[in-house]
Structure 1
Amino acid sequence: MSTTINVVCYKSKVLKNNESPLMIRICKDRKMKYESLGISLDPKYWDFKANKPTSKCPNKEYIEKVITEKTKAYTDKILELKAMEKDFTATTLAEKVNNPIKLKTVGEVFLGYMERLSTEKRTGYMLSVKQVYNSLIKFNKHLNIYFPDIDTAWLRKYETWLRSNNIKENTIGIRFRTLRAIYNLAIEENIVKAEYYPFKKYKVSKLHEKTAKRAINKEDINKVLSYKSSNPFTRLPIDLFTFSYFMGEINFV
């Protein structure tokens, strides 16, 4: 169903200055939403049939300018949402126009986050994020895309690409968890609306493989513990291993 945008004089409401506010009226799926235009006037200066100020209306040119700009903002947003095949209601349309998101690409958010981690001296984690960034560049050729472009279909394609490159299951899980963290960051910083979040349907938890336990037997451990050497370069790693083995309940780090 089509969406209509009109400006009306809300004469049923009278302000302290005895004027009535002008309101944007959004009609979508038989539901209406009113948003203040931030302007009021005496109803006698409003043409209720044509929905525009009369020729004798004070500040007529200014009021018409505001009406034109605000109406254009709504119609442009409607065209944008239709082009992206995104559904919306009268309420969500008003939210998108009055609380616009900060336009940042996925690549810009990644780079900004890596810079922050470097400043905070979190070099290890920064390098981990950089690995995911480089992986996404190889997959998508670039990251000059916006977060709504990353939907469940896009994520499945990325997963398939990783598998075709013989990336191990747990490594795939790490990359997706990092990408999810970046997406959550973008939501927190109002770069993308939470309604676009693709990880509600695409479950990262499935990308996990139990690692086979790796251990040497007691006989081999005893061989290391009882090994004799007068060479200090040989003795040191044996002593460290022995200490770590007998003090297994402490934090090795």
Structure 2
Amino acid sequence: MVNILCYKSKTLANGEHPLVIRICKDGKKKYKSLGISVNPKFWDFEKERPKANCPNRELILKIILEKENEYQKQILEFKSEDKDFTASTLLDAKTNKIIYKTVSEFYIEYIDYLKSIGKIGTAKNYRDSFNSLKRFTNNKLDIYFNEITLQWLNKYEKWLRDSQCKETSISVFFRTLRSVFNKAIANKNAKAESYPFKEFKISKFDTTTEKRAIPKESNKQIMNVDLDSNNKYMQLSKDLYVFSYLCGGINFTDIANLQHSNISEGKLSYIRQKTGKKITIPIGTEAIQIVNSYLKEGVCSDDYIFPILDKTIHITELQKYNRKHKVLEHINKCLKIISAKAGINANLTTYVARHSFASVLKCSGVNIALISETLGHSDLKTTQIYLDSFENSQIDEAMKNLL
């Protein structure tokens, strides 16, 4: 049924014949090249094996035996699963052979890949998911994806709930695991038939978050609050909040990445790190004043606008990520103090500015297609895509509602 032969019907430019594997089933024959060739004088056509004097005979024999064993093993798999097959499907099965990897192997490789392309924050999210799964399995995650069944997922959910895990965190853990499973299937490291998320619905998790937005008047109070002029971190915290509110709800990571070249002809244009989308919005007088307050002599177009990152110090993506994470923690602590000074009863963070931007515009009657009604994690991307797809004149008009 499976044979290796020297294909005499085809002669290569060097006078050799290619070696092929021949699959015979139900009277049908299929051939596939092994990628090597042999001079016919060194080939025994009766035994279909290289002669004793054949150059590289041991290597050729090794390749032949390996290929024969691979196809015989695939035939046994088909038979054990009671699957009918033809010469063509056997060949296709081997061509698209799944190279199984354990859940642990795949997670580690994918996390390393994310780090290699500078996706440090995303890599951390996958690392958190990986660590949660290791705790659940008592560090015994050397299992294959087909072992993650509906029953397995139900047990994992119960374990997370028993561990007092928040609903939103449970949702994130399952979405990340589902993403890994999908990537393993696409990478031919797991079988699609084993996919358990058709039955296990992640949409059942309640991921609604408490309202973060504050009204227009509260945002004006923050803009007008008096601060100690000697506390530069407090001033920076206020400035970053106000800048985000006035500039399309731009998030902290994208603010930290802004360079002077991102502002031109009254527009702020930047590539959103999370989605890779280009965002272009008008930048008003108040926001420009904030930018100008951080100008230094001899500033270059590729210098950062705000004193968060330093291009001479924060060079690698990991260094940038760690610096932004550290500064953000400090900024949010300062915003709590600013909130109290402004007389606002709110848990003020940089994300409140982002939510408030959308909420204030919606309350001002701006088309819901321009600003989505809610700004949960799943909606942030959609909102930015909406902003990007509208004419600048529509966005210009909408932004006037902020003050």
Q: Distance in 2 between matches of 1:133 and 1:86?
A: 35
Deviations 1:62-120 (A, max 9, x none): 454442343234335555x46995967312343156xx74x653223323444566674
Question: TM-score of the superposition, structure 2-length normalised?
Answer: 0.41
Give the CA deviation at 1:128. Answer: 3.7
Q: 1:170 to 1:202 in 2, by over 3 A?
A: farther
Q: Does 1:105 align with 2:102?
A: yes
CA contact 2:22–2:29 (8 Å) conserved in 1: yes
Which of 341, 346, 352 is 1:236 aligned to?
341
Q: Which residue of 2 aligns with 1:162?
A: 157
> Structure 2: which amino acid aligns with 1:95?
T
Shift, 1:25, TM fit: 1.5
Specify the alignment match of 2:130 in structure 1.
133
Distance across 2 between alignment mates of 1:53 and 1:118: 48
Provide the identity percentage: 29
The correspondence of residues 1-253 of structure 1 with structure 2, limited to 5 A, is: 4-17=1-14, 19-27=16-24, 32-37=29-34, 38-42=36-40, 45-47=44-46, 51-53=47-49, 58-59=54-55, 61-62=57-58, 63-76=60-73, 81=77, 85=81, 89-96=89-96, 101=99, 104-114=101-111, 120=118, 122-123=120-121, 125-141=122-138, 142-147=140-145, 149-150=146-147, 154-163=149-158, 165-166=160-161, 170-187=168-185, 190=187, 192=189, 195=192, 198=195, 201-202=198-199, 204-209=201-206, 211=208, 235-236=340-341, 238-239=343-344, 241=346, 248-249=359-360
TM-score of the pair, normalised by structure 1: 0.60
Distance across 1 between alignment mates of 2:52 and 2:128: 66
CA contact (8 A) 1:28 1:90 kept: no
| Counterparts of 1:56 and 1:235, CA distance in 2 | 90
Q: Quote how far apart the aligned CAs of 1:194 are.
A: 6.4
> CA offsets per residue over residues 142-181 of structure 1, 9 Å max, x none?
111233x345xx2442224413653666544322210122
RMSD over aligned CA atoms reads 4.9
**How far apart, CA to CA, are the structure 1 residues paired with 2:16 and 2:112?**
52
**Distance in 2 of aligned mates of 1:86 and 1:177:** 34
The one-letter amino acid of 1:163's match is K
Residues paired across the two proteins, number: 225
- Is the 8 Å Cα contact of residues 104 and 191 (structure 1) preserved in structure 2? no
Once residues 114 and 52 of structure 2 are traced to their aligned partners in structure 1, the CA distance between those partners, rounded to angstroms, is 61
Match of 1:13, SS state, is: coil
- How has the CA–CA distance of structure 1 residues 159 and 237 changed in structure 2, closer, same or farther, with 3 Å as cutoff? farther
Paired letter, 1:249: V
Partner of 1:219: none
Instruction: Say whether the 8 Å CA contact 2:75–2:90 is kept in structure 1.
Output: no
Task: Summarize the Cα distance change of 1:146–1:86 in structure 2 as closer, same or farther, 3 Å threshold.
Answer: farther
